[in-house]
Amino acid sequence: MSELNVLLRGKALLSEPLLNKGLAFSEAERDAFGLRGLLPRNVETLEEQIDAALSFLDSLSTPLARHVRLREIQDSNETLFYAILERDLERCLPLIYTPTVGEACQKFSQIWQKPRGLFLTYPERDRMEELLADPSLDDVRVIVVTDGERILGLGDQGAGGMGIPIGKLSIYTAAAGIAPEQTLPIMLDTGTNNPELRANPEYIGWKHERVRGAEYDAFIEQFVSAVQKRWPDIILHWEDFAGPNAAPILERYQERLCCFNDDIQGTAAVTTGAILAANHARKGRLRDHTVVMLGSGSAGVGVARLMYRVMRDEGASEEEARGRFYMLDKDGLLTTNRTDLDDGQKLFARSDWQDPATDFETVVKRVRPSILIGVSGVAGLFSEAIVRDMAQHCERPIIFPLSNPTSHSEATPADLMTWTDGRALVSTGSPFPPLKRDGKTHRIDQTNNAYIFPGLSLGIRASGATRATEGMFMAAARGLAAISPLKDDPDGNLLPPVTEMRRVAFAVAEAVASQARKDGVCPHAAEGDLREKIESFIWKPEYRAYRKG
């Protein structure tokens, strides 16, 4: 590996997380960069630093304490942080993201220590271009942005929602090798409607009710325009926007720049990929399933739309494909006689429902679904009676309680397997411990968007795509299904283990890049080996030798 020219020295070098090596600076580097006296005498290797960091994590008593420690390492030495994740992503993923990131967002004002990313606040909206112009951001290629209004299942966390973009971008680097300096987390602080936050003297955000309506729309437009001007080829990832804003924002901007909403499209792709994996194992078609979806917000509609697209691709008519879905919200089944539905919900509203009862239990009993998906945000809604009724009519019921964090899951895997006599194909939204059945230990699949968005963006970068098309998300789902362990082992999992996230990201990237070329959204893409192109974009957490610049 070639040497790196470095201009910083002394404390300035040690304060730059992208360059700091801690005790791994060599004797020669300590002399060359004025580090004598600033560092203890010992010189360590990166492997020794990883060992020490993981040992200290084990000594901490709570997941939040481990989350804070990992964030401290990230803010001081990014190479070490990502080397730790590369060594043990299975242990670290629940700490840097769900479920621990939910608590971290709730306590963000108390644990925030060092700047990371940008807080773009409504009162400072006229300075947006100035704030984005920082030369240190010249190499940014991927932005994750939130306004903090709908954080996981926890609601409005205001500025504390910044924990989500930070966590997501950590996964971009850990799973897909997107270089850390090419990522930027952004918090759009338009106030908060959480009265506890506004009344909290420690709250670090703008203590004001949320800006709504035309003022909010203008602020989002100002942000997108400034981003486009600063980075014309950016990948913009919308995250955890509330339902009334999420889909309209995506629809407004998806043809203007390369952007996607992970809650809508990423969730759809990973869910569809896991279901396609189940179908491959059974040699079945998605169009032959009956789907009951509990939760019909932007995530639920996004999942249904992509599954509908796959059914149409399998040859189902528009009417036949729509007829396979029964979607419910807190008021019951979506029907055409309801006046409170948005455009996405109307696509799946039933016109043929005659029963006056539209509750969840009644729907399951009547339609006998083979797929049950929960995106309700409410724990325990998949009751024993409902699941047992479903299992009576389906040999291998596919049941996905996807709400997170863990405390909001519609059911636990242990209960689902008990109620179906071990026949269910289960995947959850948050991590659960392995189950023991029939003397064997079974890993619980987690339908985590991390199986999709890192590879998606890697594929976009490798292909030079200027848009994220629906076809690319369908390709991502199929790319994920193609490497399902269940294909080769009838007792295998639907999804690969977290330890294989790099392999997953590469497979998804290949599928997405290939589809992008087919969809004609990468006009400047050079022909050639996609694998070689993808590999050229992958950053690895390794220390380089420094020389004085």
Annotated binding residues for (S)-malate: 150, 404, 448
Q: From 176, 319, 301, select the one nearest 247 (Cα to Cα).
A: 301
Q: Is the peptide bond before 99 cis (omega within 30 degrees of 0)?
A: yes
DSSP-derived secondary structure for 350-410: BS----S---HHHHHHHH--SEEEE-SS-TT-S-HHHHHHHHHS-SS-EEEE--SSGGG-S
Residues in the annotated binding site: 150, 239-240, 263, 404, 448
Tokens 């930027």 sit at which residue? 184
Tokens 């600033």 sit at which residue? 38
Kind and range of the H or E run holding 250: helix 243-253
Tokens 């995250």 sit at which residue? 239
**AA identity, residue 371:** I
Which residue in 168, 172, 216, 326 is the catalytic one? 168
* Residue 79, C-beta contacts closer than 8 angstroms, at least 6 positions apart: 18, 21, 46, 541, 542, 543
Active site residue 97: yes
Q: What are the b/e assignments for 34-55, b being 16+ CB within 10 Å?
A: ebeeeeeeeebebeebbeebee
- The CB-side HSE value for 57 (13 A sphere, CA atoms) comes to 24
Kind and range of the H or E run holding 259: strand 258-261
CB neighbours of residue 411 within 10 Å = 25
Residue 36 — left, alpha, or beta (φ > 0 → left; ψ -120 to 50 → alpha)? beta
Active site residue 21: no
* Residue 491, C-beta contacts closer than 8 angstroms, at least 6 positions apart: none
Q: In angstroms, what CA-CA distances link 254 with 259, 342, 466, 478?
A: 6, 19, 10, 22
Residues in the annotated binding site for a divalent metal cation: 239-240, 263
CB-based contact 393:292 (threshold 8 Å): no
Structure tokens at 398: 């596919």
Q: From 540, 518, 535, 543, select the one nearest 173 (Cα to Cα).
A: 540
549 - beta bridge partners? none
Tokens 């002399």 sit at which residue? 31
Tokens 């809604």 sit at which residue? 381
190/157 Cα distance (integer angstroms): 12
Q: From 126, 138, 139, select the one nearest 225 (Cα to Cα).
A: 126
Q: What are the b/e assignments for 107-129, b being 16+ CB within 10 Å?
A: bbbebbeeebbbbbbbeebeebe
Which residue in 21, 82, 97, 253 is the catalytic one? 97
Give catalytic residue positions. 97, 168
